[in-house]
Chains A and B, each alone.
Chain A
Amino acid sequence: MSVAIINSGGSNLRSVAKAVDRLNKSYVITDTANEIKKASFVILPGVGSAENVMQVLKEKNLVSVINNLNQPVLGICIGMQILFEYSAEGNTECLGLIEGNVKRFDEAKNLKVPQMGWNKVMFTETKFQKFNSYYYFANSYYSVVQKYTTATSDYGTKFSSVIEKNNFLGCQFHPEKSADAGENFLKYFFQIS
């Protein structure tokens, strides 16, 4: 029952690994196709830019590996953003697993960009409302609310804080840095009740 944390060149691998470890899951930090394929759960973390993360995934030949995974996959922050078709950050073509684009918060609206801090996440479905809480965000880009949005937050505009399509789950916040709320969300991903 191991967890593969994909090494996409980002720098938050250790924090993600520690959060997984706190839930007593064994994990491997990897960029090897076979290790990713055989894991029970896959986490795609991302810190940096969509452009960088996509470039790393391409160089390591992991794009089709990720796109063909059938086990639960969690994309965190940039890892969520690259599940979409396109990101305005660096004009980047992304994985295209979920229809939609990623845009930049509009400074013209008197917003401080990046959004940095704890924002309220509200799930739309009643069964998930126990996860409504504050979570930690650090992002300049966001995905609009669409068909696969399961939770939203507000930062000058309403955006998708959680999306879910088939086996792909994405969260714009950092569960590994979101105290107890983040831990509960990770338990949901790992199907720990």
Chain B
Amino acid sequence: MITRRIIPCLDVKDGKVVKGVQFKNHKIVGSIVDLAKKYSIEGADELVFYDISASTVGKTVKKEWVSKISDVINIPFCVAGGIKSVGDAREILNLGADKVSINTPALENPNLINQLSKEFGSQCVVIGMDIKTIDKQNYLFAKTGNESTAHSTGIIALDWIETVQDLGAGEIVINSMNKDGMRNGYDIELLNKLSTVCTLPMIASGGAGSKEDFINVFKETSVDGALAASIFHSGEYTISQIKSSLKNKKINIRI
């Protein structure tokens, strides 16, 4: 059977990898191509490139970076940020990405999911979901790349998962806004709740701060992969260190 995946994420703003806390106060952490190469060599199972400024200012992800990254890595590569049409997606995929992840544009135009899936196959279509839990209800947020544009759509996460599944999505990334950048563990409760309706591969995102957080998310939920940013960017842990501690705990991982 397939292994659980460790997925480093490069959040990019104005050509630099940045990291914020709960989607705010972004700080520069490094260069795009150097980090991409480093993670690929260290054994990352996949790489996500997320242009966080794209959707908030109505632009598509900066294309030059897509080809620059794809030239230096030989692992799967997903690109997110302001992809609003089949044409946008085609361009990104032709530059070497394997998947596109859409978030705000899917909320604004759900039919885009169906179009992308028909055109490129569902394995290319990842739906990113930025979810904030308020009074036990899990709401989808849009335009989260910038504090001033982020807002609740009022859409409930469980309903949205069912909708995107029906429209032909191939994978779902659950970003817990409550946990993002807090480095005190993934949102186990949210992930287990959403797993009850999710029939697609699901990736956990937001909250990784220690080896134990990865062990817990794989032991306590059925997620297929764990995405993380700051824990790897800070150099505190390498991907291979995280993977060997998972292997020691008998979690099915590629080493």
Contacts and interface: CB of A to CB of B under 8 A. Distances in A.
B254 A48 contact: no
A183 interface: yes
Contacts, number: 96
Interface residues of B, number: 34
A118 B224 CA distance: 11
A176 B201 contact: no
Interface stretch (A36-44, A66-74, A135-143, A162-170): A135-143
Contact of A119 (B1, B90, B119, B201): B1
B74 A22 contact: yes
The winner among B74, B95, B201 for most chain A CB atoms within 10 A is B74
Given A11-B124, A116-B224, A117-B225, A19 B90 contact: no
A178 B74 contact: yes
Contacts of B171: 116
Which of the listed residues B2, B76, B121, B123 has the most CB atoms from chain A within 10 Å of its own CB? Answer: B121
Given A18-B70, A116-B170, A48 B76 contact: no
A117 B123 contact: no
Contacts of A14: 67, 70, 94-96
A49 interface: yes
B41 to A, nearest CB: 9
Interface string B17-39: 00000000000000000000000
Nearest to B224: A117
Interface in A5-28: 11-15, 18-19, 22
A35 to B, nearest CB: 20
Contact of A154 (B1, B74, B90, B119): B1
Interface of B: 1-3, 5, 40, 43, 45, 67, 70-71, 74-77, 90, 93-96, 98, 119-124, 170-171, 199-201, 224-225, 254
Interface of A: 11-15, 18-19, 22, 47-49, 107, 112-119, 134, 136-140, 154-155, 174, 176-180, 182-183
